Amino acid sequence: MSDLDASTPRVFLARHGETEWTKNGRYTGSTELDLTAHGVKQVADTAALLVGTGRLIDPARLVGIQVSPRKRAQQTFEQLFQAGSATPEVRIDDERVTLTEDITEWDYGDYEGLLVGEIRASRKQRGLDKEREWNIWKDGCEGGESAQQVRERLDRMISELQDIQKPYMHGEKAVDIVVVAHGLILRAFVKRWLKYPLDMPLPMMMSPGAIAVLSYKNQNIDEPGFFVGMALPAKE
């Protein structure tokens, strides 16, 4: 049996394009930043290749799009489905688009705008982390979200998405979903999709403007999985 029937529901994760803080690695949660010109091009180029009729992300197969309310995520959504799509005549009606705080970036609290090295140095100066270095997956953020708070909102969202897709595991209806959000929260989403604890080591990389694909093995809602590689739709 193949890993995926072509009609098995999928969840596409789209990371926003480059911002000024993305370039230098600063933690960017609630700060509102625009995409850079390069970031806009990143997403537009992705859309031209992957979004459109008969392409990997076919708007006709989408039952919904979940978008972080942050400006950079909304600009990415617009480039994916309004400006950069290979089939601009295909538009996403507003009823299928949901802005939700459930998929906004991790609330970094006191660490907003800092580099990892700066956070660890500050904590060390204050006598913290004597036994091991700070790890966001275990320790969360001072003045921001804990890992448990992030897990709870992601689990709620994943449950809602799977409730939508569960009745259609064999292609009875097209129910693909796109989630447009941020680098760290999308990697956290993958862990919870796979039912892993957030602090489980799972090195992941997701470039600005990138697309990841989740689905289900054996067309089974209880076997959520991810693609380590997949073939693109064949040209007719």
**76 annotated as ligand-binding:** no
Q: Is 106 annotated as a binding residue?
A: yes
**Residue 50 tokens, joined:** 């992957």
- Is 100 annotated as a binding-site member? no
Known catalytic residue at 160: no
> Among 18, 78, 105, 145, which one carries the catalytic annotation?
105
Per the residue annotation, which of 16, 78, 112, 145 is the catalytic one?
Answer: 16
Q: Is 28 known to sit in a ligand binding site?
A: yes
Tokens 């990697």, residue?
Answer: 187
Question: Is position 156 annotated in a ligand binding site?
Answer: no
Sign of the dihedral defined by the CA atoms of residues 206, 207, 209, 211, in that order:
negative
Q: Is residue 16 among the annotated active site residues?
A: yes
195: left (phi over 0), alpha (psi -120 to 50) or beta: left
Strands (E), 93-230: 97-99, 176-181, 211-216, 224-226
Is 104 annotated as belonging to a binding site?
no
SS3 content of the chain, % helix, strand, coil (to 5): 40, 15, 45
Is 29 annotated for ligand binding? yes
- The set of residues, in sequence order, having a beta carbon less than 8 Å from that of 95 and lying 6+ positions away, is none
Strand partners, 226: 214
Closest CA to 27 of 118, 97, 148, 91: 118
- Annotated active-site positions, please? 16, 105
Q: Which residues are annotated as a binding site for substrate?
A: 28-29, 72, 105-108
Q: Residue ranges for the binding site?
A: 28-29, 72, 105-108
